[in-house]
Amino acid sequence: MVKLNDAKLSAVLEREHAASLEQKKNRRAAWEASGRPAGMNPQKMDFRISDFHRTNYLSIGPAEGRFMYGQILAKGAKEIVEFGTSFGISTLYLAAAAAETGGRVTGSEFHPEKADRALSNLVAAGLEADIRVGDALETLAGEGPEIDFLFLDGAANLYVPVLDLLEPRLRPGSVIVADNIPVAKDEGHVLLDALQDRQEAYVTSIVSFGQSGMSYSVRL
C-alpha cells in the first residue's frame, strides 16, 4: 500500500490538518477583533520569543504536502532535511515519502514542546524522523551526507542563511522547496532574490497553491 494512504497516517493527518485550520480561523478572528495589530505579521516577529510561533501550527496544507511527497518519490530522494518542523504536519509527508524511498528525514524546530508533539504525531503514524531542537542555524550545522531534498519553512528571514549553511551539502540535482513564497509578480522575497543572484547554481520555478506559493529549485 502507498504510505500516504496508510490508515494510521491518514488519521493523524486528518486530525492535525483540521486542528491547524481551526486555529487559523480563530487566529484571524482574534486578530481582527483586536484592531489588526501589525504584530500579527509573522515576518516581523522573533520566532524565539513570540507566542505566535510557539503555539501556532502555521502548517502547509494537504496540497503542498502531497506535492512534496510526489516530488520525493519521483526523485527517489533519500536524504531529506527540513527547516521549521512546528507540530510536524509537513514532516509527516516527508517521512512517509522517505519510508518509500528508503531515506530519512532530519527536521528542526526551535520550540521543544512543538518538537515533542511532532514526534508523537510521527510515532502515531508509524513513521520516524530526527527532529533537532534549537536554532536550526546551530542544529543543522556541521558536516553531513549529501542532501537530496531540502524544505525551507522556518523563519523567512533565515531561508537564505539556512540555504548558505546547507549549500555545501546539496547534491547536484537536489531539490529545494520553500514555503510562503508570494505568487504575485510585484511581491518580492529575499530567497527569490538570492536564487536569482545564483542562477548559475539553481533553476527556480514558483508553484502556486492559491494565494500563496512554493518555490521549487533544482541545484545545478
Query: Can you tell me the distance from the alpha carbon of 220 to that of 170, in angstroms, rounded to the nearest whole number?
Result: 10
Query: Can you tell me the distance from the alpha carbon of 164 to that of 200, in angstroms, rounded to the nearest whole number?
Result: 15
Query: Can you tell me the distance from the alpha carbon of 185 to that of 98, in angstroms, rounded to the nearest whole number?
Result: 34
Cell of 122: 510521527
Where in 111-150 is the site for ligand SAM (CB under 6 A)? Answer: 111, 114, 135-137
Q: Of these, 131, 158, 178, 181, which contacts ligand SAM (CB under 6 A)?
A: 158
Which pairing describes strands 79-83 and 104-109: parallel, antiparallel, or unpaired? Answer: parallel
Under the binding rule (CB under 6 A), the answer on residue 106 touching ligand SAM is no
User: In 35-149, which ranges are continuous DSSP H helix?
Assistant: 51-55, 62-75, 89-101, 112-124, 136-139
The region of 28-36, 58-66, 96-104, 201-209 touching ligand SAM under the rule CB under 6 A is: 58-66
CB 82 within 8 A of CB 106: yes
Query: Considering the complex, what minimum distance in angstroms separates the CB of residue 179 from ligand SAM?
Result: 7
Query: Can you tell me the distance from the alpha carbon of 36 to that of 204, in angstroms, rounded to the nearest whole number?
Result: 34
The region of 52-60, 141-149, 181-189, 210-218 touching ligand SAM under the rule CB under 6 A is: 52-60
> How many angstroms from the chain centroid is the CA of residue 70?
15
CB-nearer residue toward ligand SAM: 137 or 218: 137
CB 65 within 8 A of CB 3: no
Q: Of these, 4, 86, 147, 181, which contacts ligand SAM (CB under 6 A)?
A: 86
Give the chain's length: 220
Query: Can you tell me the distance from the alpha carbon of 220 to that of 206, in angstroms, rounded to the nearest whole number?
Result: 17
Q: Of these, 4, 9, 58, 81, which contacts ligand SAM (CB under 6 A)?
A: 58
The region of 25-33, 110-118, 123-131, 203-211 touching ligand SAM under the rule CB under 6 A is: 110-118
> How many angstroms from the chain centroid is the CA of residue 151?
5
Query: Considering the complex, what minimum distance in angstroms separates the CB of residue 122 from ligand SAM?
Result: 12
Under the binding rule (CB under 6 A), the answer on residue 155 touching ligand SAM is yes
State the binding string over 183-212 for ligand SAM (x if CB under 6 A, else -): ------------------------------
How many residues bind to ligand SAM according to rule CB under 6 A?
A: 22
Residues making contact with ligand SAM (CB under 6 A): 47, 53, 58-60, 84-86, 89-90, 108-111, 114, 135-137, 153-155, 158
